[in-house]
Amino acid sequence: MTNYIKLKNRPFVKGTVVRYKNFAVATKFDAAADAWAVEVFGLIDDLSEMDFEECRLENLTEWEGQRFETEGEAILAGIQFLEWRY
């Protein structure tokens, strides 16, 4: 489990974390593959009890090994996953 603050402060991870609706989309650069990967996280906790940044998040990503040429493509894939699924 993680939360938004921990995702934003991951040590040694080149990437971006953005909030999209009540989800977090996190990119990271995979140097071995020379490509970008994306993970999507959803809320475990109730937003009425705490701020989004402090809520626990679970990884909702269903794909493994999918890589993207640019960070923008990775973020777009995460958002499209959310739009199709949720």
Output the 3-class SS for the chain: CEEHHHHHCCCCCCCCEEEECCEEEEEEEECCCCEEEEEEEEECCCCCCCCHHHCEEEECCCCCCCCECCHHHHHHHHHHHHHHHC
What is the predicted pLDDT for the residue at 34?
95
pLDDT value at residue 53? 94
Q: What is the mean pLDDT of residues 14-42?
A: 95
Per-residue confidence (pLDDT) for residue 12, from 0 to 100: 85
Q: Residue range 18-45: average pLDDT?
A: 95
Model pTM? 0.91
Tell me: pLDDT of 3 over 90. Answer: yes
Q: Where are the domains of the chain?
A: 2-85
